[in-house]
Structure 1
Amino acid sequence: MSSRSRRILLIFSLIAAMAAGYFAGAGRHVGHEPGAPGETAQPGEKTQYTCGMHPFIIQDEPGLCPICGMRLTPMRPGGEKAAAPAERRIKHWVSPMDPTYVRDAPGQDYMGHDLVAVYEEGSAPGQVLIDPVTVQNMGLRTAPVERRDLNRTIRTVGLVEYEEPRQFAVNSKIDGWVERLYVNETGQFVKKGQPLLDIYSPELVAAQQEYLLALRNRDRLAQSTFAEIAAGGERLLEAARTRLKYWDISARQIAELEKSGQPRKTLTLYSPYSGVVTKKDVVEGMRVMSGVDLLQISDLSRVWVHADIFEFELPWVRPGLSATVELPFAAGPDRVGKITYLYPYVIGETRTTQARIEFENPGLELRPGMYTNVRIAAQPVTDVLAVPNHAVLRSGKRETVFVALGEGRFEPRVVTTGVTDNEGFVQILSGLRVGERVVTSAQFMLDSESKLQEAIQKMLAPEPMETKPEIDLEDLF
């Protein structure tokens, strides 16, 4: 026999052996699963035990389930072929994505999904069926889906800060040296028009001299018979006066300069507003540059309180709501204000948004930098569908509840939730109807059971056979 013939004979022998093993294994399993319909009891057959919660757990001896710890129950040996189950009657058709979409005939929902049949008895696909005794042992409780009003009081912390429009900077518009400093302390109260400091500047002295020259020149040219010459002297004087005004020399100081006829060595800067000196960057004898801030004055007659609002609390907060501010270490009544502004960004360090509350501060009891306790009475959300918050299972991608259908049947339902109130109820935007009951305890065991049944169905479902091209034996050699 040639080498090629021996190879062909060996291949046919392997194929025949694999086929024989396949049919032999199929003959041992078909119709002989424990408790399968049509199984015939054999004399001396060994009793096997299984778990009521996990039917794939099968053991030859009694004991406890290795998954849930329940006692194993004996499996009933198969008898004569069971009668064919009666045909179930369809109650209605429902959308798999929206349980509120119910129809009396098959079809598709508004999203294009095929409607699923709901039967009058028994469990529909996707439901969990548990023995009532087991339900009682699990301590399973339910709560109704009802309409109610949701209320929430937000408790947070706040920080007292300056009112930004009432902060002012004092600087010089000319270069020079500080000859005298009238306000020399941080925290000192100043009034509007109070002198702050004197600045010596050679440029300022030269500008005053130019103004005096322009003043004398105007008086001399005013006697000219030519109108244009007289007008030119007036224009020159006005230009010199404007230059002094731009350097913050007041009209009163210009009038004194005209009266005395002698230029002043220093320029006095006056406080533009009343308030407290909150920043001081100047000392006597210091050389200052034009445009550099020397002092900062803040008016504390009104202050802001910035309250931190977490992201999940934002749906409850809006401008106009009443807010109560309490000073933890100060006696006296709480202060009540209103939210005037909600900042449109989130602070990265705290992941909070700030709500601004404005207060009058006549006694200066609210000092910038103080921490406060803030209570915000959110506006109620009225007449909404709600369930207990602990009835919702959150997996990160979706939110699920288990609906109790009665007779030990439970259906997992995907829902969309809204706000949560102080009493532990969460708003349901879609997925449930009034009157249904949801599981509020032991739903994690139902969740594991539903995932287990889904996995078993996927394993038992026949996979589509791939069409393989015919193999020519000549191509193997």
Structure 2
Amino acid sequence: MSRRSFIKASVLIVFMAGGFTWLLSHQAILPQAESGQGEMAGMEMPGMKQKEKKKSAPATQSVGTESAREPESVPGIVTIPPERLQTIGVKYGQVTRRPLEKLIRTVGRVAVDERRVAKVTIKFHGWIEELFVSALGDHVKKGQALFTIYSPDLVASQEEYLLALQGRRQMGESEFPEVARGSQDLLEATRRRFELWDITDSHIRKLEKTGKVMKTLPIHSPITGTVIKKEVLTGAHVDPGQELYTIVNLSRVWILADIYEYELSFVKAGQKAAVTLSYDPSTVLTGQVGFIYPTMDPKTRTAKVRFELDNADEKLKPDMYANVELQVNLGTRLAIPQEAIIESGQKQVVFLHLGGGKLEPRLIKTGVKTGEWSEVLTGLKEGEHIVTSANFLIDSESRLKSVVESMGGMSGMKMSE
């Protein structure tokens, strides 16, 4: 055998031996792999097990869990441990019927009683001869002389009256009825002129008695009061209708106050009101509602209300400001403390106390609010127990609990994935 043939035979033997060895080793490893695959098939991966458990859990736990938590699953029920309620200072009360009073406060302005105001004028031309009341603020009495006036028209009318009076005396017994009647008519016409000029009967009687013409005529005050306006001076010429004095009786005054539209229905004529002044709050004056004006201010949504009160000592002066309080008796109504109500937008909620730390939110509708009490129109019955304080803490507690529970549910979902 040549050298080349020997090398070929040796290489062939080596390949055959390697192939036989590989075949034997492959047959030995294959059963182990199949056996190992069987063992792995019997094992459960942690992630897969959690998924399967989470998928199968609702079927096995839904009945037991729902039955165990049935009270908590009632819609609207809030459960807070009693010790927690005690910690946050929750107090309870009973829904009852009670007498309610509404207090209305406002600020008013003192005004004169328009029925106690008089303006002094004359109805003929003249000149002021003498002033008896010459200063603002002077007090006058009814019938007191204010000034004297000279008027040529008045002098002429007096002369005509005296002539008519003399003619009636002379012709009153005439045998001709027409003559007697004519003299009487002339006398009455002159007298009516005096009446139109507001010449008093006493002046006319004095003229008839003395038979002398009075150069000046005194003008008297028509009412008792205080002079608040004077437009006259000695020697001044005055015209018919000119306002010479304004006199006001301040023994009784008005207070004009603004009442808001939502409070107006509680105000009635004749109701009593307490009035105080800023410079003397210790003194309380008593007045009453005299009139409710029929118009509203479109900008402030208020109406004028007139309060009337005695002012004998004239402590209240025109244009002075005064505080007015009106106590309105509303009768007996179903009411709860305002602190018990949670305002949620346009809704009003209270917590009903069910016991054992269980609270039920209840929608209610309220009416009149009076100080610390609020009338209940719907949503509650007399005798029910409610939470009367720390409601905002309960509301915060229940909201926080809902948030935590929802966050817990989201966390579980992430873990299952």
Same fold flag (TM > 0.5): yes
- What letter matches 1:354 in structure 2? V
Which structure would you say has the larger RCO, counting Cα contacts within 8 Å and 6 or more residues apart?
2
Q: 1:205 to 1:134 in 2, by over 3 A?
A: same
Q: Which residue of 2 aligns with 1:226?
A: 176
- What letter matches 2:141 in structure 1? K
1:44 to 2:47 alignment? yes
Cα RMSD after superposing both structures: 4.4
Give 1:278 deviation, angstroms: 1.3
Give 1:183 deviation, angstroms: 1.4
Gap runs ≥5 in structure 1: 1-40, 48-75, 90-119, 453-477
- What letter matches 1:386 in structure 2? A
CA distance in 2, matches of 1:197, 1:341: 36
Deviations along 1:38-94, one digit per CA (max 9) or x if unpaired, are xxx9943799xxxxxxxxxxxxxxxxxxxxxxxxxxxx94533436659x99xxxxx
- What letter matches 2:59 in structure 1? A
- What letter matches 1:276 in structure 2? T
1:302 to 2:252 alignment? yes
- What letter matches 1:150 in structure 2? L
Q: Which residue of 1 aligns with 2:290?
A: 341
Q: 1:253 to 1:431 in 2, by over 3 A?
A: same
1:82 to 2:85 alignment? no
- What letter matches 2:340 in structure 1? A
Give 1:269 deviation, angstroms: 1.3
Give 1:448 deviation, angstroms: 7.4
Q: Which residue of 2 aligns with 1:165?
A: 115
Q: The residue matched to 2:191 in structure 1 has which SS?
A: helix
CA distance in 2, matches of 1:143, 1:249: 79
8 Å contact 2:272–2:289 — kept in the other structure?
no
Give 1:238 deviation, angstroms: 0.7
8 Å contact 2:107–2:322 — kept in the other structure?
yes
Report the structure, 1 or 2, having the larger strand content.
2
Gap runs ≥5 in structure 2: 1-43, 404-417
Q: 1:395 to 1:170 in 2, by over 3 A?
A: farther
Q: Which moved more, 1:213-222 or 1:301-310?
A: 301-310
Q: Give the TM-score normalised by the residue count of structure 2.
A: 0.66
Q: Which residue of 2 aligns with 1:429?
A: 377
- What letter matches 2:292 in structure 1? Y
Report the structure, 1 or 2, having the larger helix content.
2
CA distance in 2, matches of 1:296, 1:171: 9
CA distance in 1, matches of 2:101, 2:118: 42
8 Å contact 2:130–2:148 — kept in the other structure?
yes
CA distance in 2, matches of 1:146, 1:237: 85
8 Å contact 2:143–2:220 — kept in the other structure?
yes
Give 1:209 deviation, angstroms: 3.3
Give 1:288 deviation, angstroms: 2.9
Q: How much identity, in percent, do the aligned residues show?
A: 35
1:385 to 2:334 alignment? yes
Q: 1:353 to 1:144 in 2, by over 3 A?
A: farther
Q: Which residue of 1 aligns with 2:161?
A: 211
8 Å contact 1:417–1:428 — kept in the other structure?
yes
Deviations along 1:409-432, one digit per CA (max 9) or x if unpaired, are 5334131322323xx121112221
- What letter matches 2:339 in structure 1? H
Figure out how many residues of one structure are paired with residues of the other and give that number.
347
Give 1:357 deviation, angstroms: 4.3
Greater C-alpha Rg? 2
Q: The residue matched to 2:365 in structure 1 has which SS?
A: strand
8 Å contact 2:273–2:287 — kept in the other structure?
yes
Q: 1:319 to 1:252 in 2, by over 3 A?
A: closer
Deviations along 1:196-217, one digit per CA (max 9) or x if unpaired, are 1233334333333332332343
Q: Give the TM-score normalised by the residue count of structure 1.
A: 0.59
Q: Which moved more, 1:277-286 or 1:338-347?
A: 338-347
Q: 1:161 to 1:444 in 2, by over 3 A?
A: farther
CA distance in 2, matches of 1:232, 1:175: 29
Give 1:437 deviation, angstroms: 1.6
